[in-house]
Copies of this chain bind each other. A is one copy, B any other.
Amino acid sequence: MDMLSFQLVREDERPLYEQLYHQIRQEIIEGRLPYGAKLPSKRKLGQFLSLSQTTIELAYQQLVAEGYVESLPRKGFFVMAYEELAYIKKEEGELHTTAEETESVAYDFHPSLVDASSFPFSRFRKHAKDIIDDSHQELVSLGHPQGDLVLREEIATYLYHSRGVICSTEQIIVGSGVEQLLPLLVLLLKEHRYYGVEDPGYHSVRSIVESHGRKTVPIPVDVNGIVVRQLESSNAELMYVTPAHQFPTGSILSINRRRQLLNWAGTDSSRYIIEDDYDSEFRYSGKPIPSLHSMGADKVIYLSTFSKSLMPSLRIGYMVLPKALLKQYQQEFSYHTSSVSRIDQHILARFMKVDFEKHLNRMRKIYRRKLELLTSLLRPAAPSIAVSGDSTGLHVLLTIANGMTEEELIESARRVSIDVYGLSQYSRNTLPDQLPQIVLGFASLSEEELSSGIYLLLKAWKLH
C-alpha cells in the first residue's frame, strides 16, 4: 500500500476515519491493493499519518464489516478477493433484507443478534460429528411428529429446573421457532378471533395472527409490563405476552399484573395466555423470576426458542400445550410432521444433556460483562440518556433527551455507519408525545466494537 498517496483533510466535513476508509477501499477496488495483501499495523499507519490508533481502528473495522478486508487474530488485516465482492453485487436485484446482501454498516445494534463469536463451536462440532457418525438408517425416516422423544425429554428436564415449567414430554411440540409454531396454534384455536398483543411488541406476531384472518388487539405496555386493566375491558380471547423481558421495552411483568392476568384468563374457560419466554436464560440481577406457566399451567401456552440461547440459524423452538388442548392437537394435526431435521434434533439433545448448563452460565457472564461495559459507556451521557430494561436479555431501551426526534437519532447514527432501531417501529399506534426511545441490542458486538461504536454514537448524538 502506498501510504504516501493518502490525502486526509482535517477540515473536511467527513471524519478522518471515513476519509481513510474511502481511500483504502478505492485502492482495493482499483486493484492496487491485491487479494491477500496485508494492511500496515494500526500502530505503524497511525504514526505515519499522525492519526490516533482509534481512528485507524474505526477505518479498518468498517472495511472488515463491508467485507473488503478480513481480520485474522494475532496476524493483522488482509485484503479479501474482490471477485467475491463482485459476486455479492450480482445479487443486488434480490430481496434486501439480510446482512449479507444489504449495504453493511460498521455497527449493528439490532436486538435480534447474538454473540456469534462466543458460540461453542468445538463442543457443538463434537456432538454433531458423534451424532452424524452414529446416525444410521433409523434417522433417515420420519420421527415423532412432535419432535423426537430424546429431545423432548431434555427440554422437559431443562424447563423444570430452569423455568419452573412442569410438563410431560407429550405436551411438548418441537418446531422451527415461533414463526412456525404460532400458525399451528392459530389453526388449533379455531374459535378464537381476537388476540391481545403487546404494544409495542413483535411485528411478526401481529403479522402471523392477522395473516390467518384473526384480529389483533393492541394492549399497551408500561414499566410493569402489559396494562391488564386494558385487556380486561377489551374483547381479546387470548393474550400473547413476553413476561420475563418484554420485547422491546424490556420491562418485567410485575407479580401483581401476573396475578391479574391469570385471573383474567381464569374467568372464561376458553381464554389462554401465550407466554413467549424468548430470552429469559440471561437474567443478570435479582432473583430469577419463574415463568407464568409455573403459576397457572392450565391457562398458559408456553413458547420458547434456542435462537437466543444457542443460535438463530439453528431454527429450533418449542411450545408446551396445556393438557386441555393436547388431545385436540393430536387429532387434528395427525398429518403433521415435525419441521426440524432429526439429525439436528439429536445433536441438540446431546448438547443439552452434556453442555447446555455450562454454556448458558458462560454466555450469561459474557453478556453481563458487555452489558456492564455498555452501561458504563453510556453513564457520562446521563441524564440525557436513561437506560432501562437491563436486568435480563440481550437488549436495553434508551430514552434520549438531546432535543433530537427518533428519526434524527437514527439518521445521525446512520451517517457514522451505525444502525439503531427506534421504538416506534414496534408499535402500531403513534406513541404518546414523549421522549424518543431506541431499542439497543448489544450481544453481537465485541467489547472493542461496543467502545468505539458507543463513542461514535454519542458523538453523532452530540452527547460527547
Q: Measuring CB to CB, which residues of chain A are less than 8 angstroms from any residue of chain B?
A: 91, 93-95, 97-101, 112-114, 116-117, 119, 121, 124-125, 128-129, 132-133, 135-146, 149, 169-170, 176-177, 179-180, 183, 187, 203-204, 207-208, 211-213, 311-316, 330, 332, 334-344, 444
Contact = CB atoms under 8 A, between A and B. Distances in A.
16 contacts: A95-B144, A95-B146, A97-B145, A112-B142, A140-B311, A141-B311, A142-B312, A142-B313, A179-B335, A179-B336, A179-B337, A179-B339, A204-B335, A213-B213, A313-B341, A314-B343
A140 B313 contact: yes
Copies in the complex: 2
B98 A144 contact: yes
A204 B316 CA distance: 23
Nearest to A127: B132
A207 B188 CA distance: 12
A124 B213 CA distance: 42
Nearest to A136: B121
A129 B311 CA distance: 19
Contacts of A340: 176, 315, 341
A97 B141 CA distance: 13
Given A313-B342, A316-B341, 5 more contacts: A116-B138, A129-B129, A177-B339, A211-B332, A314-B343
A113 B311 CA distance: 32
Contact of A117 (B137, B139, B144, B203): B137
A94 B169 contact: yes
A316 B129 CA distance: 20
Nearest 6 CB-CB pairings of A with B: A116-B140, A176-B339, A204-B335, A116-B137, A313-B342, A140-B311
Contacts of A145: 95, 97-98
A340 to B, nearest CB: 6
Nearest to A117: B137
Contact of A119 (B129, B137, B336): B137
Contacts of A207: 335
Contact of A121 (B94, B135, B334): B135
A114 B141 CA distance: 7
Nearest to A97: B145
A170 B93 CA distance: 8
Contact of A203 (B139, B208, B312, B335): B335
Given A141-B99, A212-B187, A125 B133 contact: yes
Nearest to A144: B98
A114 B129 CA distance: 24
Contacts of A176: 176, 180, 339-340
A143 B95 contact: no
A323 to B, nearest CB: 12
Contacts of A187: 211-212
Nearest to A329: B95
A187 B343 CA distance: 30
Contacts of A336: 179
Contacts of A444: 141
Nearest to A87: B149
A113 B141 contact: yes
Nearest to A170: B94
A339 B313 CA distance: 9
A151 to B, nearest CB: 13
Contacts of A169: 91, 94
A68 to B, nearest CB: 16
A150 to B, nearest CB: 11
Contact of A212 (B101, B137, B212): B212
User: Which of A140, A143, A187, A342 gathers the greatest number of chain B CB atoms within 10 Å?
Assistant: A140
A313 B144 CA distance: 10
Contacts of A135: 121
Contacts of A146: 95
B341 A315 contact: yes
A177 B180 CA distance: 12
